[in-house]
A and B are shown apart, each in its own frame.
Chain A
Amino acid sequence: MTSPTGVTANEPDGSPLFDLLEGFVMELRAAGLPVSLSENIDAAEAVKHIPLEDRLAFKYALAATLVKNDAHWKTFETLFEVYFSFRGTEYSLDGDADELVTDLDVDPDEGVEQAAGDGGQGGGDGMTPEELAELLYQALLGGDESLMRAIARQAVRRFASMEPGRPVGGTYYLYRTLRNLDLDGVLERLMEQARDRAGDDGQPLSSFEERLERDEYESRVDKLRKEIEAEIRRRLVADRGAEAMAKTLRKPLPEDVDFMHASREEMVMLRRAIYPLTRKLAVRLARKRRHKRKGKLDFRNTVRHSLSYGGVPAEPKFRHPKPAKPEIFVIADISGSVAAFARFTLHLVYAISSQFSKVRSFVFIDGLDEVTAYFEGVDDITEAIHRVNTEADVVWVDGHSDYGHAFEVFWERFGDEVGPKTTVLVLGDARNNYHAAQAWIMKEVQQKARKLFWLNPEPKAYWDTGDSIVGEYAVHCDGVFEVRNLRQLDRFVDNLA
């Protein structure tokens, strides 16, 4: 990869570098990162101090000045790759776009040789697929990064069949390339080889050693996959230009990912994000509780202290505040469509359960079951939630959400335990499959409980459309909230305790 620039650093504003930086910052803002004006200036200042041929230093200089939250790093990195990579000495986008499009239309070996560098065996297109596969195997076996990069280039050129101007996303090309490379097969072969090698030494791999070997190879395969992604991205950028590409790559920040439409990758990201979030929330709530205003006037204590002022109650004394910790009942729909949402909310509520005097949880689809016991004395909430999903008895007839029946069961079995200290949270999209609503139960619950809140993971615009009857329940609730992402969930729980 060449340096992001061909210009000298000290040129005043208006130089291509600053134009590019400007565009980059605009795009960061469009992606939701809060970049202030002074940070923008800092970035421009910072890049003056680093050698511009050092791409990595350039990247860290921008990151240090523009990105002040670790969760935003990934967004930054992707955009950085889009804006500051694969630029020749000609700086302007138009100039090298033309050149690169021809590069896209299969030019012979030049590219591979270039990238292969010291990786040896550059001889690109001449290879049969078998030879390429063998080369890939060798590269992964040896962990040879420059060879891996060359293979990534070759694989994309060969398998992705990218066409200039074709409006397809990068994932499509990625899929095509990976399908042809059969990385799972290669991984198995690598593991075979590891086992054989250990067998030859007379000590077969224990499952522990096998695990370590596998982790090592997995990480190499992962590196290769990233190389391929980067290669595809570079080509797309060359074809479409950085601005257009950045737009298609725009993804929500982790705290804005919609629970109901998260991809598998985003789910993993969300799971990682939730633990630090709960920790922050717990600290915040504990502090809030401690710093709340003073308690009631302590009359006796005030009078006792007034003695030292000759009977004048000059120094009023207050009781220590003992804000009541609320008791929480969570009633969660865990049918397919909203399961992820219920899981995150349960996770969050239990992670901060020390802020509540009691937490009880109930899950339902068309039947309802109490699952509090799964969470008691368990350190690992993920495990408990897994048990909820597999063991709880929540299906009554057909396993389609039936809010009405679930509420009936709740009222019958647990209705007596709802008291004036209880805050009830209902989680669900209220898509009732046209069953009876039984909204009167919500009315009863609301009268007995301290508060009744409904959290709906659907966008507000979809409420009360189709079989959603959230409006019928809403009239009996103290509040109905749209909670579609971690940010909203965090805000709600913060107000709750």
Chain B
Amino acid sequence: MTHRFDSVDAVREGLRSVEYLADDSIAGIAYLADRLGKPVLVEGPAGTGKTQLAKSMAEMSGARLIRLQCYEGIDESKALYEWNYKKQLLRIQAGGDGQAWTELQEDIFSDEFLLPRPLLEAITADDPVVLLIDEVDRVELETEALLLEILSDYQVSIPELGTIESKQIPLVFLTSNNTRELSEALKRRCLFLHLDYPALEREKEIVMTKVPDITDALADQVARIVRSIRQLELKKHPSVSETLDWARTLVLLGIENIDESDAANTANILLKYRSDIEKAVKDFSSNASTHFEPTST
């Protein structure tokens, strides 16, 4: 089997060319996923670029992205395949009397009457594809089992047709916001990638890439302030996308150097809870030295 990438660096450079700045772990694990032919389970806080990773991987390798958005109550007919009942019915009615039942039965349970859903589509595709199974933690524990066959063997078993094996091993990304513990069986089949908030330098670089008009000094300041805010105990920490929104806002407002009141006035873009905003604003205006005392126990 041929591999898509030659080295970890090739992955990193490829991702960079589509404006996704990968750190060592991201590039390394994406590379391994290709080499080992294993799916990647990407977990982490919201807004750290989990879904974007899959999209960028598809873009860089020129593959088609097939996306399965998970939700509570998703089932086989939405995820794997469905028989096209209406067409089958038409076929039976159009068949006339002469045809033997067994012949007809064979006919209506054939490829022609099968509606592929994302998972089946991904493994039967002829062109290169990247399969994204988004927010897999939203499905119920029992439904997870649907995914197991395709994740470990890249095949789908259809009772009437037999087993459909994949023509290629697609790159598979599963994302999870960790709202519940995924089953051991699922985790075992995947490589695990935890995407956390980026380090200072990387976040600055991301800001510079995605907000082209920003000055180096401002990007640096943005990244530092966001890092400080993430150290507070908040309900929800600012995500990378919120950092980017904030940076864009600052550029639009023509702010060159963020001072306290700028930060306080635009904090609502970074933080989405009233209590979080109050806390951050209070923290920034109070004396710095008291901050690192732990809250009383």
Q: Are B178 and A208 closer than 8 Å at their CB atoms?
A: no
Q: Within 8 Å of chain B (Cβ to Cβ): is A339?
A: yes
CA distance A207 to B288 in the complex (A): 6
Q: Are B297 and A279 closer than 8 Å at their CB atoms?
A: no
Q: Within 8 Å of chain B (Cβ to Cβ): is A38?
A: yes
Q: Are A382 and B194 closer than 8 Å at their CB atoms?
A: no
Q: Within 8 Å of chain A (Cβ to Cβ): is B78?
A: no
Q: Are B188 and A49 closer than 8 Å at their CB atoms?
A: no
8 tightest Cβ-Cβ pairs between the two chains A and B: A379-B275, A211-B288, A208-B260, A68-B187, A64-B191, A49-B35, A60-B28, A60-B25
Report 28 cross-chain contacts, Cβ distance below 8 Å, ordered by A residue: A38-B188, A42-B36, A42-B38, A57-B8, A63-B25, A65-B192, A68-B190, A73-B194, A206-B259, A207-B286, A208-B259, A208-B260, A208-B263, A208-B284, A208-B285, A209-B259, A211-B284, A215-B224, A215-B228, A219-B227, A267-B297, A275-B235, A280-B178, A280-B179, A280-B180, A287-B140, A343-B297, A380-B275
CA distance A50 to B196 in the complex (A): 23
Q: Within 8 Å of chain A (Cβ to Cβ): is B296?
A: yes
* Chain A, 194-220, CB within 8 A of any chain B CB: 206-212, 214-216, 218-219
Q: Within 8 Å of chain B (Cβ to Cβ): is A46?
A: yes
Chain B residues, CB < 8 A from A211: 228, 283-284, 288, 291
Q: Which residue of B lies closest to A212 (CB)?
A: B224
Q: Within 8 Å of chain A (Cβ to Cβ): is B193?
A: yes
* Chain B, 205-238, CB within 8 A of any chain A CB: 221, 224-225, 227-228, 231, 233, 235
Q: Which of A70, A216, A340, A386 lies at the interface centre, i.e. has the most chain B CB atoms within 10 A of its CB?
A: A70
Chain A residues, CB < 8 A from B260: 206-208
Q: Are A284 and B288 closer than 8 Å at their CB atoms?
A: no
Chain B residues, CB < 8 A from A279: 179
CA distance A180 to B225 in the complex (A): 32
CA distance A264 to B296 in the complex (A): 11
Q: Which residue of A lies closest to B224 (CB)?
A: A212
A191 CB to nearest chain B CB (Å): 9
CA distance A280 to B260 in the complex (A): 36
Q: Within 8 Å of chain A (Cβ to Cβ): is B250?
A: no
Q: A64-B191, A209-B259, A214-B288 are in contact. List 13 more A-B contacts (CB 8 A).
A: A49-B31, A51-B7, A57-B24, A60-B29, A67-B192, A70-B178, A207-B260, A207-B284, A208-B284, A216-B224, A264-B294, A280-B179, A382-B233
Chain B residues, CB < 8 A from A208: 259-260, 263, 284-285
A35 CB to nearest chain B CB (Å): 10
Contact with B along A219-236 (1 / 0, CB 8 A): 100000000000000000
Q: How many chain B residues have a CB neighbour from A under 8 Å?
A: 59
Q: Are A215 and B227 closer than 8 Å at their CB atoms?
A: yes
Q: Within 8 Å of chain A (Cβ to Cβ): is B85?
A: no
Interface residues on A, range: 35 or more
A282 CB to nearest chain B CB (Å): 9
Q: Within 8 Å of chain A (Cβ to Cβ): is B32?
A: yes
Chain A residues, CB < 8 A from B184: 34, 36
CA distance A45 to B228 in the complex (A): 40
Q: Within 8 Å of chain A (Cβ to Cβ): is B181?
A: yes
Chain B residues, CB < 8 A from A275: 235
Q: Are A68 and B41 closer than 8 Å at their CB atoms?
A: yes
CA distance A45 to B32 in the complex (A): 10
Q: Which residue of B lies closest to A343 (CB)?
A: B297
CA distance A46 to B7 in the complex (A): 13
Chain B residues, CB < 8 A from A324: none
Q: Which of B44, B179, B273 lies at the interface centre, i.e. has the most chain A CB atoms within 10 A of its CB?
A: B179
Q: Which residue of A lies closest to B262 (CB)?
A: A208
CA distance A42 to B35 in the complex (A): 12
CA distance A279 to B137 in the complex (A): 13
Chain A residues, CB < 8 A from B224: 212, 215-216
A255 CB to nearest chain B CB (Å): 11
CA distance A386 to B293 in the complex (A): 14
